Structure 1
Amino acid sequence: MKVYEAINWGAKELKGVCDNPRLEAELLLAHCFKINRTALFLRREEEVSKEQLERFLEFINMRKSHIPYQYIVKKQCFMGLEFFVDENVLIPRPETEILVEEALKRLKRGDVVLDIGTGSGAIAVSIAKYFPDCTVYAVDISKKAIEIAKHNAEKQGVLDRIFFIESDLFCNLPPNLKFDFIVSNPPYIKKREIELLQEEVKKEPIVALDGGEDGLFFYKKIIREAPFYIKSGGKIGFEIGYSQKEEVTTLLEESGFKDVEIIKDLAGIDRVIIAEHKL
């Protein structure tokens, strides 16, 4: 079977499974060849080896089972950086880049940053990469997530600037440590809405999606405890769900945070909330 024939077959198999079956078939086959999609076009008349074809078939079947493309190829691009991802971590989304970008705008030299629920390390690693004059702490309750985040930090050359800690939120942080900036993309899907998510999303770790009955469980817990770990004048920033602006704003103001800012994504949806802690 030639390359173009394999692509045609893969696209047919993926019809109805994803939004762009031909594109995904091309990307999966390119991954089998260990080349990029452009290079694959130049080899469209080339025969696909038995081993490559078997691997391609395996990938197509995985995708037909709604396993996310990123888990199949074990990577995702975020903030212009490549991150290793698998089923133990949430797949970083483009929307979360807004949180990182807004944090980078506000950081000062020497700041100490905490990333809560680091997952793949996308937020922590990106901040350390693009603002090397800060120190970053990154926590996650999952040991496997911490291992993946460390791998990504090493891959991007910032492992020496991030302290990774297996911890349930603030629990295992060093005593008396206070932060200039706390960032988090916590689970914020309402429990009853989990089953309504796309099949691909439901393949991601439930612990990274489930925000409790009202979707606010982790916001409440983090915001309640944050004043004990943040400096006066320090900032806190979250990614939020499309309808959570008012509720998270109220939680922040009740815990002593002021000057609440809301940043919208490219679709005009409230996506990031940032506030300052003032004693």
Structure 2
Amino acid sequence: MKIYEAINLGAKELKNICENPKLEAELLLAYCLGMDRINLIIKREDEVEEGELAKFLGLLNMRKSHIPYQYIVKKQHFMGLEFFVDENVLIPRPETEILVEEVLKRVERGNVILDIGTGSGAIAVSISKYFADCTVYAVDISKKAIEVAKYNAEKQGVLDRIFFIESDLFRNLPPNLKFDFIVSNPPYIKRNEIELLQEEVKKEPIVALDGGEDGLFFYKKIIKEAPFYMKSGGKIGFEIGYGQKEEITNFLEKDGFKDIEIIKDLAGIDRVIIAKYKL
């Protein structure tokens, strides 16, 4: 079977599984053949060896069972960087890049930054990669997630600039440590809505999705505890879910945060909230 025939077969198999079946078929076949998508198209008349075809068919079956493409190929691009991802971490989304970009606009030389719920390390690693003159602490309750994040930090050459700590929010942080910036993309899906999510999303770690009964559990907890770990004038930044702006703004104001800014995503949805802590 030629490459273009395998792509057509894959697109047919994935027709009702994803939004762009041909693209995903191309990417999965490129992964099997150890080449990039451009070379796949250039060599479209080349034959696919029997073993490679068998592997490709196996990956198609995995995708048909709604395993996310990123978990199959073990990678996701974020902020122009390639991250290793597996079933132990949430797959980084393009929307989260807005949070990182807004932090990078505001971070200053020598700042100490905390990333809560680091997962794959996408936020912590990206900040450290693009702003070397800061120190980053990254925490996650999952030991396996911390291992993935450390791997990605090493892959991007920033492992020596990030302190990874297995911790339930602030619990295991060094005593008396104060931060200039606390950043988080916490779980924000309402518990009773998890079953309504796409099948692919439900393959991701529940602990990274479940935001409690109202979807706001972690925002409330982080905002309540954050002042004990922040410098006066320090900032806090969150990615937020649809319709959560007002309640999170109220939490922030109640606990001493000022100068609250809301940043929308490309669809015009409130996506990031940043505030300053003042004693």
- Structure 1: any 5+ residue segments left out of the alignment? none
- Secondary structure in structure 1 of the residue aligned to 2:176: coil
Match of 1:218 in 2: 218
Does residue 194 (structure 1) correspond to residue 194 (structure 2)? The answer is yes
Q: CA RMSD in A?
A: 0.5
Aligned AA for 1:95? E
Aligned AA for 2:171? C
Within a 5 Å distance, the mapping from 1:28-43 to structure 2 comes to 28-43=28-43
TM-score, scaled relative to structure 2: 0.99
Match of 1:57 in 2: 57
Identity %: 82
Aligned AA for 1:212? G
Deviation at 1:42, TM superposition (A): 1.6
Aligned AA for 1:15? K
Structure 2 CA distance for aligned equivalents of residues 207 and 50 of structure 1: 40
Deviation at 1:10, TM superposition (A): 0.7
Match of 1:128 in 2: 128
- Secondary structure in structure 1 of the residue aligned to 2:271: strand
Match of 1:79 in 2: 79
Deviation at 1:183, TM superposition (A): 0.1
Match of 1:185 in 2: 185
Aligned AA for 2:133? D
Does residue 274 (structure 1) correspond to residue 262 (structure 2)? The answer is no
- Secondary structure in structure 2 of the residue aligned to 1:95: helix
TM-score, scaled relative to structure 1: 0.99
Deviation at 1:46, TM superposition (A): 1.1
- Secondary structure in structure 2 of the residue aligned to 1:133: coil
Deviation by residue 1:258-277 (Cα, 9 ceiling, x = unmatched): 11100000000000000000
Match of 2:45 in 1: 45
Deviation at 1:45, TM superposition (A): 1.3
- Structure 2: any 5+ residue segments left out of the alignment? none
Deviation by residue 1:3-47 (Cα, 9 ceiling, x = unmatched): 111111111110111011111101100111111111001211111
Ranges of 4+ aligned residues in structure 1 off by more than 3 Å = none
Structure 2 CA distance for aligned equivalents of residues 106 and 42 of structure 1: 44
- Secondary structure in structure 2 of the residue aligned to 1:218: helix
Aligned AA for 1:85? V
Aligned AA for 1:65? S
Aligned AA for 1:72? I
Match of 2:8 in 1: 8
Match of 1:91 in 2: 91
- Secondary structure in structure 2 of the residue aligned to 1:199: coil
- Secondary structure in structure 2 of the residue aligned to 1:47: coil
Structure 1 CA distance for aligned equivalents of residues 4 and 132 of structure 2: 45
Work out the number of aligned pairs and report it: 279
Match of 2:138 in 1: 138
